[in-house]
Amino acid sequence: MSKDFILPDIGEGIVECEIVEWLVAEGDEVKEDQPVVEVMTDKAMVEIPAKDDGVVEKLYYQKGDIAKVHEPLFAIKPADGSSDEAPAKDSAPAKKEEPKTEKNQTSAGGDTTDFILPDIGEGIVECEIVEWLVSEGDEVKEDQPVVEVMTDKATVEIPAKDDGTVVKLYHKKGDIAEVHKPLFALKPAGGVQESGSNAPQNHVDPDAKTSPSDSKAEAEPPAKARQGKAVASPAVRRLARESDINIAEVPGSGKKGRVLKKDIEAFKSGDQKSAASSDSQQPQKAAATSGGTRTEAIRGVKAAMAKQMMSSVSTIPHFTYADEFDVTDLIALREKLKEQYKEKGIRLTVMPFFIKALSLALKEFPVMNAQVNEDCTEITYFDDHNIGMAVDTKIGLLVPNVKQVQNKSIIDVANEVTRLTQASREGKLPQADMKGGTISISNIGVIGGTVATPIINKPEAAIVALGKVQELPRFDANGNVVARKIMTVSWSGDHRIIDGGTIARFNKLWQEYLEDPTSMLVNMV
């Protein structure tokens, strides 16, 4: 018996994505966490992994198709042969078995529909109801927050997908709700829509369809050319790029000014070009004015970072420790070696030295590589040194981590740093590289600044910020003034388990390894 793999949430506000490349074929065996398909959203390229071992029986989309979040992506026959869902049909994805709750997806009365709790984080299968923000009988609007839930990673607000009236709340405050199960029942403002079905609409691009809502939108005047981010699917964005058109200048005829394929075609043919051109010239005149404001929603990586940082500073008592490192000899060693390894295709920066030296110091101070539970009644020490490094990307700050640094050479670490940095900046960073970090490094010095007070990447216990390298006058052993390359490092520690003396001694050992790089050789495995 086969079951459908449901496309999970792949980013804040993302409801669809384009199939870029299938990494498997029908009939292939796959393992849990094996990448199955590469998809493109309007924010990044993402690889979707399998959740279980099994055999791929059917791919519901072809390369270039638009797939919908929370709808079947492919059918898989589990390795153990079990399935909680009906077998897939050749013509369309099988419907997921209706959850056993007080109401099914559509009630017997036919006028209400269940809101299914979506994926709210990698590996999260349940959450606790913290607070209902509405009551039964309340009217809600699309995107209005309905409930606040808490996972083992963060507190999240779940918004409504449609306008309507809340008919029933299936859980009480403090209850545990399961992902992919009904959360509340809603009577839609316009009645139950067929779009509530789990089956894809024959793989047709939604932007090419004609529906009653589209007809209504067509009767309205096109939206003016926007100056911010256009609302459009990945396929429409690709069409605009291929046509060498700035999609921000195209008036959208869809709901909420959404740019459709026909809008791109019309703009390309010149039907709307003059209107768009005149509209696009207006901001030039407005640019001379003053006193204006601009408001943007905080979404995606930035929203996740905001919640993570709020949780960190509100639950972890931070304290900061800073010191100067003389990295003259380290930089000289790196300069000596970088060309030699460049010929071998290895990009050798100073970061691998910092990461490896940190790992060597962690062996002597395991509390720096530990984590406490939420109520601070237990402390867990990790054998693996999974050292995170902050990467500044177009979509926000990402902190992938180099796994098991204690078992890697400096060259191994260098290759991982290169891979993680490139994947982050290309938007192709696998979720596995973001999970499991035990301590982090933020290299603010590549941008500027000497001292920082970094926020701990919860649930880790410490983070260090590297300042910029400055050539400064210092006294040598003979009392002569010499030029040395100096870097300030700034630590933030969890004061519940790390005290000032511990972090000072730990930092001193790390400093010794970096100021005399050859000393690392004696301690490396």
Kindly report the number of other CB atoms within 10 A of residue 411's CB atom.
15
Contact of 156 with 163, CB cutoff 8 Å:
no
Taking the C-alpha atoms of residue 312 and residue 321, their distance in angstroms, rounded to an integer, is 18
- CB hemisphere CA count around 208 (13 angstroms): 11
State the greatest distance between any 2 C-alpha atoms of the chain, in Å, as a whole number.
Answer: 91
Q: Please identify which residue in the block is written with the tokens 């809600």.
A: 140
Taking the C-alpha atoms of residue 440 and residue 389, their distance in angstroms, rounded to an integer, is 6
Contact of 236 with 252, CB cutoff 8 Å:
no
The residues facing 492 across adjacent strands are 320, 463
Encoding tokens for residue 224? Answer: 């003016």
Rg, C-alpha atoms of the chain: 27
Taking the C-alpha atoms of residue 186 and residue 116, their distance in angstroms, rounded to an integer, is 11
122 Cβ contact partners less than 8 Å away, ≥ 6 residues apart: 431, 435
The residues facing 387 across adjacent strands are 402, 439
Which letter does DSSP use for residue 134 in this model? S
Indicate which residues carry an active-site annotation.
Answer: 495, 499
Taking the C-alpha atoms of residue 416 and residue 410, their distance in angstroms, rounded to an integer, is 10
Edge-to-edge order in the sheet of strand 126-132? 155-159, 145-150, 126-132, 176-178
User: N- to C-terminal Cα distance for the chain?
Assistant: 49
Instruction: Rounding to the nearest 10 degrees, give the CA dihedral for residues 369, 373, 378, 384.
Output: -30
Q: What value, to the nearest 5°, has the Cα angle with vertex 475 and ends 470 and 479?
A: 165
Pairing of strands 439-442, 462-466: parallel
Q: Please identify which residue in the block is written with the tokens 């964005």.
A: 237
Taking the C-alpha atoms of residue 420 and residue 302, their distance in angstroms, rounded to an integer, is 19
Which letter does DSSP use for residue 7 in this model? P
Q: Which of 363, 323, 315 is nearest to 496 (CA)?
A: 315
Buried b (16+ CB within 10 A) or exposed e, 189-216: eeebeeeeebbbeeeebbbeeeeeebee
Encoding tokens for residue 220? Answer: 């309205």
Q: What value, to the nearest 5°, has the Cα angle with vertex 57 and ends 53 and 59?
A: 105
